[in-house]
Amino acid sequence: MNRSMLDLWVGFFVAIAIGAMLFLALKVSSFSGIEMQDAYTVQARFDNIGGLKIKAPVRSAGVLVGRVTDIHFDNDTYEALVEIRIDGRYTFPKDTSAAINTAGLLGDQYIGLQYGVDERALSAGDTIKKTQSAVVLEQLISQFLFNKAAEGQDKE
């Protein structure tokens, strides 16, 4: 095999490797979106959103049903106000609950929607009333350590 043919094969494999890395980067960053049809936007208030980011997935029963479109702080209630864009193909009852979950042990955070039983459906501009904030690992550890220290002082 001559030198130019070897260079061609090396270039070919380098191009494939770059393409594979780009594909993985887009997959990990949740850039691959869904084609939303007649999407509608609802809001949810959380005490703590942890590491939730704009464009984070919104899932129900493990299925991608929407994305987080905006996050901001409400100065009146001191809560995080999260805007969620839901694909119009999916309808949820008005008493649907939203929780901030983590994908895996150290994965990205996403919003999980749990169906309610109300006959009326969520519509554009509605607010999800039942929410569960993110579990922050640092807070759990510090609370555990504080409780253990308090137990030690009680024994003295």
- Would you say residue 59 has pLDDT above 80? yes
pLDDT confidence of residue 93: 95
The 3-class secondary structure across the chain, one letter per residue, is CCHHHHHHHHHHHHHHHHHHHHHHHHHHCCCCCCCCCCCEEEEEEECCCCCCCCCCEEEECCEEEEEEEEEEEECCCCEEEEEEEECCCCCCECCCEEEEEECCCCCCEEEEEECCCCCCECCCCCEECEEECCCCHHHHHHHHHHHHHHHHHHHC
pTM beyond 0.95, yes or no: no
User: What's the mean pLDDT in 129-150?
Assistant: 82
**pLDDT, tens digit, 9 for 90 and up, residues 21-42:** 988 877 766 555 566 778 999 9
pLDDT confidence of residue 31: 54
Reading the block at residue 146, the tokens are: 């504080």
